[in-house]
Amino acid sequence: MIVADLARYLAHTTAARSVSVSELRRLPNGAVQENWLLAARFEGGWLAGDRELVLRTDAATTLGIGLSRAVEFQVLRAVRAAGVAVPEPVLLCEDSGVVGRPFFLMRFVAGEAQGERIVSGELGGDRGTLIARLASELARLHAVRPPLRGLEGLAPPPADPARARIEECTRWLAEDGEPHPVAELGLRWLIRHAPPPAPPALCHGDFRTGNFLADPEGFTALLDWEFAGWGDPDADLGWFCLGSWRFGAYAREAGGIAPRDAFYRAYQAASGRAVDAGRVRWWEVMAALRWLVLALRQRDRCLVGGERSLDLALTGRRPAECEFEILALTEAA
C-alpha cells in the first residue's frame, strides 16, 4: 500500500490542507477482508485533527461471495442509523487506483475480538450482561425491515430464505465434487424439515463470537458485515449457537458465553418476538452445513487459488467440526 497516494487521496476527499499518516499496520484476523489501522493527522477539512481509523479492503483472493466494500459501507450506515453499535463509517473509495482495491474507512473502536479470550471471561465483562447486550444488538438489527432507502445494493429479500440457502449449499457441494456423506445427510434433513418463510429482516450473516469487539468491561462494537443481507432472522440465532463458535466452551451453547435459554430469553425480551427453538435448530443445522461448504471454499483459495496462507490451509480441516454438529443436531429427528 503506497502511503503517499493514500494521504493525498484522503486530503483531497476530506478537504484537508494535508494528511500525514503516522501509522498503517494490518490488524489481526480477517481471512476474507483485510483491516488496517490508520493513524493520521488531518490538517483542516471535515476530519480535522488526529484520527484513528480502520481501512477495510478485500484480501488478495476472495471467496467470490459476500458484499462488495461499497455495499458493506451502505449496510454499516444503515445499521448505525438503526442504533446498532458498529464503528462509524467515514468514507468509501471505489477507485482501485488509490490502494489497489476499493476500500472504506471507519472510526477505530477499542476492543478485541479473539473468541478464546471472550469465552474465558478475560474480555467481555459479566456474562449475563454480555449475552443480553448481544441479544439486544441483534434485536435492533432484526427490526430493520425491507425495503429501506440506502440499501438498494443488497439483493432483494428471497421469497423463501430457507430454500434459497438449501439451493446455495447444494450448488456449492456439487461444485466441490468430492464425496461429503455427512453434508449430504444434513442436506436431506434440511430439505425435509425446512420451516415456512418468516417475514424478512436485515441479518448479519456471520453473527458470532469472534466477530464483535469487547474490552474487559464488556461489548464495544459489532464487526464484519460482509455477509449481511435480507433473510430469516432465526438464521443469525442459529449461526451464533453453532458449536464451532463456542471456542472450546462447548456447554455454553450461546457463543461459548451463556446457556442457550438465557440468550433466547434475552433476544425475546429485546425483540418482542418469541423464539421458536425448532426453527432455530433448523437454522443451526444449516449453519453447520454452510460453514462446512464455506470452509471448503476457503481451503480452495490456497489449494486451487495458490494463496500461500496457513490459516486458509487449516480451514480445510474444519469441516469435521461441522459434520459432528450435523450428526448431533439431527440425532433421532
Partner 1 sequence: MRDRPDAEFLLARAREAVARGEGGELVARARAIAERECAAGDAPVERFRQALAERYGEGGIELLLRRLVAEIRSGAADTPGPVQAALRRLLWRMTRQKLAESNPGYLAAADAGRVPRK
- The residue among 40 and 326 lying less far from partner 1, judged by its C-beta, is 326
Residue 222 beta carbon to partner 1: minimum distance, rounded to whole angstroms: 25
Q: Do 204 and 229 form a contact (C-beta atoms < 8 A)?
A: no
Interface residue with partner 1 among 2, 15, 60, 327 (CB under 8 A) is: 327
230/247 with CB nearer partner 1: 247
Give the 3-state secondary structure percentages of the chain, helix then strand then coil, rounded to 5. 45, 15, 40
Helix (H, G, I), strand (E, B), or coil: what is residue 176? helix
By beta-carbon proximity to partner 1, the closer residue of 20 and 170 is 170
User: Which 124-153 positions form the footprint of partner 1 (CB under 8 A)?
Assistant: none
- With both helix axes pointing from N to C terminus, report the angle between 260-271 and 234-241 in degrees, rounded to the nearest 10: 160
Using CB under 8 A as the binding rule, whether residue 328 contacts partner 1 is answered as yes
Q: How far is the CB of 320 from partner 1 (least distance, A)?
A: 4
Say how far apart CA 85 and CA 87 lie, in whole Å: 7
The 265-294 contact track toward partner 1, x by CB under 8 A, reads ------------x---x-------------
SS3 assignment for 58-94: ECCCCCCCCCCHHHHHHHHHHHHHCCCCCCCEEEEEC
Contact status: 299 vs partner 1 (CB under 8 A): yes
Residue 303 in the binding site for partner 1 (CB under 8 A): yes
Contact 326, 285 (CB under 8 A): yes
Strand 18-26 relative to strand 33-43, pairing: antiparallel
Q: Which helix (H) or strand (E) holds 293?
A: helix 277-303
Region 168-207 residues binding partner 1, contact defined as CB under 8 A: 178-182, 184-185, 188, 192
Q: How far is CA 319 from the centre of its chain?
A: 19
Residue in 251, 272, 274, 306 binding partner 1, rule: CB under 8 A:
251
DSSP state of 309: -
**Interface positions with partner 1 (CB under 8 A):** 178-182, 184-185, 188, 192, 243, 246, 248-251, 253, 259-260, 277, 281, 299, 302-303, 308-311, 313-314, 316-321, 323-324, 327-328, 331-332
